[in-house]
């Protein structure tokens, strides 16, 4: 498994508010217009899953498989050409100061790894940026 870790982001809210928002994927509706349409299309979501098409990979669907209140949300790719897991980690350091980090693990074969590593790393950092900018109140 290849691991990709986002930059750590600071969110000026408490971890309970952030967890409540991120653990219900239907809240992504608020951020739909911030997703770059040239990279991601056919974005759909409900409380426990989201799916989208990524060029040139195709359709990917993530489902929440575990929620640890105010700490971690774990995802697994249901519809993906490769085995992928991802999780969001939250750590509150002060009343309205929470750190967010994304980790993604993917089963990449040695031929595809050099081609996709940079775009995946850039993508996970972009997702972290979007999550840090969400309106949590």
CA contacts within 13 A on the Cβ side of 107 = 8
Does the pTM exceed 0.95? no
The CA–CA distances, whole Å, from 105 to 22, 76, 111 equal 19, 10, 17
* pLDDT tens digits, 31-51: 767 666 666 778 888 999 988
> Which are the contacts of 75, defined by CB distance < 8 A and separation ≥ 6?
62, 63, 64, 65, 85, 86, 87
CA-CA distance, 78 to 62, in Å (whole number)?
A: 6
- The fraction of the chain above a pLDDT of 90, given in percent, is 54
* pLDDT interval class at 136 (50, 70, 90): confident
Q: Domain limits at 9?
A: 2-133
Strand partners, 87: 74, 103
| Per-residue confidence (pLDDT) for residue 30, from 0 to 100 | 73
* pLDDT tens digits, 6-30: 999 999 999 999 999 999 998 877 7
Domain count along the chain: 1
CA-CA distance, 105 to 79, in Å (whole number)?
A: 15
* pLDDT tens digits, 66-82: 999 999 999 999 877 78
CA-CA distance, 137 to 45, in Å (whole number)?
A: 21
CA-CA distance, 62 to 77, in Å (whole number)?
A: 4
| Per-residue confidence (pLDDT) for residue 79, from 0 to 100 | 73
Hey, is 95 helix, strand or coil? coil
Question: What mean pLDDT, rounded, does the chain reach?
Answer: 89
CATH assignment of the domain containing 119: 3.30.530.20
């Amino acid at each position: 498994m290849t691991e990709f870790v986002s930059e750590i982001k600071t969110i000026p809210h408490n971890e309970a508010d952030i967890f409540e928002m991120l653990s219900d994927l239907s809240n992504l509706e608020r951020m739909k217009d911030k997703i770059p349409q040239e990279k991601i299309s056919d974005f759909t979501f409900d409380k426990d899953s989201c799916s989208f098409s990524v060029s040139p990979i195709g359709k990917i669907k993530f489902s929440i498989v575990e929620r640890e209140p105010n700490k971690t949300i774990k995802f697994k790719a249901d519809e993906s050409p490769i085995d992928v897991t991802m999780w969001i980690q939250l750590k509150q350091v002060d009343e309205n100061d929470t750190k967010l980090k994304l980790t993604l693990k993917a089963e990449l074969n040695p031929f595809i790894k050099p081609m996709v590593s940079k775009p995946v790393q850039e993508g996970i950092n972009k997702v972290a940026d979007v999550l840090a900018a969400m309106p949590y109140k």
